[in-house]
Chains A and B, each alone.
Chain A
Amino acid sequence: MEANSSNQEWDLEIKPHDTVFNLHLRDVWNYRDLLWLLVRRDFVSFYKQTILGPVWFFIQPIFTTIVFTFVFGNLAKISTNGAPQPLFYMAGIVSWSYFADCLTKTSTVFRDNSAIFGKVYFPRLIMPLSIVFSNLIKFAVQFILFIILMVYYLIQGNNIEPNWYILLFPVIMLLMAILGLGLGLIITALTTKYRDLAFVVTFGIQLAMYATPVIYPLSYLQEKYRIIIALNPMCGLIETFRYGFLGTGQFYPGAFIYSIIASLTIFIIGLVVFNKVEKNFVDTI
């Protein structure tokens, strides 16, 4: 009996401290059904009791594009490297808002879900992941809008040349997702104790758009500013996205490789920090 009990195999061991890199990814995999159900929940609850339903996904990029075209294109007369202005802005808006949504929504994930996290265990990472996937649906809808607009300009015979760099599109999406997620995870982990960061995010994300080539091309900047802006990992991603689809401007290999490295690094840091905080955040939030 004694020997029997000491040789028992345990399925789970709960300890005060775990190794930093034990990310419980197997757990996350076991809960994959929950991930899809949460994505579904977000999508369904978004348009329940609305008349227009998923059409609302279109309205934001359309109106933003119109306003940007008017303000930045017609009033400020910022160059678009020869691309049609609405298309140029929409490319920026659609991809930027995917990143921004991933970041802002994941950055409050502990606070928004403290009620449910405090009552039941499931791998916490499921929640931010579901946000990333929910936003991907929204992005897909908006992306269709962008493609329609692009096809329209192609038929019109405008100066746009989609090229092979378009194949980098899935990579760009993945990088934007993990960059937004990684930053969001770091911020939500820090805001469990110090709420200050949450305030920074809400207006910071708006300002960050201007530090990213969304409404202007990178080539429009003077050389000395270009380096500074290129330090923003989103810069290489948006530039490459636009170059692939519109063929205007140019591809910056250095900026793109830098974006890959920066995104991966931030993502891994985010995972580790989140994983460390998730175990006890219930006590402090």
Chain B
Amino acid sequence: MSDIAIKVENLSKAYQLGDFSTGTISRDIDRWWARIRGKEDPFLKIGEANDRAIKGTSNIVWSLKDINLEIKQGDAIGIIGRNGAGKSTLLKVLSRITSPTQGNIKIKGRVASLLEVGTGFHPELSGRENIYLNGAILGMRKKEIARKFDEIVDFSGVERYIDTPVKRYSSGMYVRLAFAVAAYLESETLIVDEVLAVGDIEFQKKCLGKMNDVSKGEGRTVLFVSHNMGSILQLCNECILLDQGRVEKIGLPEDVVKDYYNKSVNQVSLFSGKESDIYIKQLFTCNSENEETSNFSHSEDINLRIVIGINNYDPIQNIGLALLTRDKRRVFTVNKALSEFYKAGDTEIIVDFSIAGGLIAPMNYSFLIALNTRTGLITYDMQDDICPVTVFDNGTEFAFAEGMDYGCIIVKDKWKRINS
């Protein structure tokens, strides 16, 4: 199983930005002339890293730059990165849709790529005809499709409509049929781009299950691009983080996903200069290693460090704290008397509030913190919607439904049959 299925060496891909009309002929002639004389292409020399936020001086960008990878047979590889990091370009080059500018790729066995569901579906043709057509486009032989036809129809769950033109299908049925064809491809390597973001939850779960079978059960290599970290963590045994066309990190999915999150959002701290009896001096969230971060996996403790400045201590003083969802509803509220921490003469108290891992459902949250009296009669200081945190899925049972609202907490549920 340690055989290498795909070997990528110094792979680079340059794109030209902007228009292709006026001036292209003269530029093409320049490039051609440079090639004739055996010189480097003058337009590739001035290329720069692909950062869409910064306006560059050159209109050549490197969408991929010096990628080196070795992918073993039977591996399930997740590819993650921000928009424009080069994920799709990498898949396109791997699936021969476009060719690299430099470097090369060596592949063992057949590669099937699924960059879009239903490529080549013809609206006028029936489901049956489209299965054959789509299968052939994806590289299957006709008798191969015929052999798997029943399985495909069964998986898609649209038996009743199989002889109806697909233009009369609901979009969900269309997607189901399209994915079903791809799911039964017989290739050593399967390349999948963010296609699971379609269809209903039940079907998404089915797709993920099928992909799991493909990689773990059948020992085929799977390359999978997704923004859905839960699926990546559930499905993949290795993960590649791309950033600006380069490989930022390769490793275990848990580590790489964590890195990605830490990279994507800047750490948050807050300084408040209020000079009331007690006031919030500083707030930030950190992990159990005391590192400032705003990204936590579902199973990790979330710590909120609160630095309280004290001018005038009173035993009725209280810390009120709530976790807010994105639409500002409270997940829960807690209260803690300041007296539990206070020692005489303190001018500053640093406390940690922790939410145990494994409870808060993957989603974005923020905190509301108030320094008040227990009954709320006096409010000394308050910060609303502060310290945004992202809880990401590291393989919960709801990973397939990432981004959907299935509640704010995941409970340890117990079930028992009562009648005998």
Contact = CB atoms under 8 A, between A and B. Distances in A.
Contact of A120 (B103, B115, B141): B115
Given A11-B108, A14-B99, A16-B102, A120 B3 contact: no
Q: Which of B94, B95, B97, B116 has the most CB of A within 10 A?
A: B97
Given A37-B132, A193-B24, A120 B125 contact: no
B139 interface: yes
Contacts, number: 112
B401 interface: no
B104 A13 contact: yes
A121 interface: yes
A219 interface: no
B82 interface: no
A91 B242 CA distance: 61
Interface string A1-35: 10001001111111110000000000000010110
Interface in B135-154: 136-142
A9 B104 contact: no
Given A12-B107, A45-B122, A120-B115, A37 B101 contact: no
A119 interface: yes
A226 interface: no
Nearest to A122: B137
A122 B139 contact: yes
B105 A14 contact: yes
A37 B142 contact: yes
B254 to A, nearest CB: 27
Contact of A13 (B93, B105, B122, B138): B105
Counting contact residues on chain A (CB < 8 A from B), the size range is 35 or more
A121 B15 CA distance: 20
B226 interface: no
A117 B24 CA distance: 23
Interface residues of B, number: 49
A38 B133 contact: yes
Interface stretch (A74-82, A256-264, A277-285): A277-285
A283 B15 contact: yes
Interface string A116-137: 1111111000000000000000
Contacts of B94: 14
Contacts of B139: 31, 122
A39 B94 CA distance: 28
A49 interface: yes
A120 B98 contact: no
Given A37-B133, A280-B98, A280-B99, A14 B93 contact: yes
A279 B99 CA distance: 6
Contact of B95 (A8, A11, A121, A193): A121
B20 A284 contact: yes
Contact of A44 (B110, B119, B125): B125
B156 interface: no
Interface string A99-121: 00000000000000001111111
Interface string B275-296: 0000000000000000000000
Q: Which 6 A-B pairs have the closest CB atoms?
A: A34-B136, A121-B96, A279-B99, A10-B106, A14-B105, A33-B142
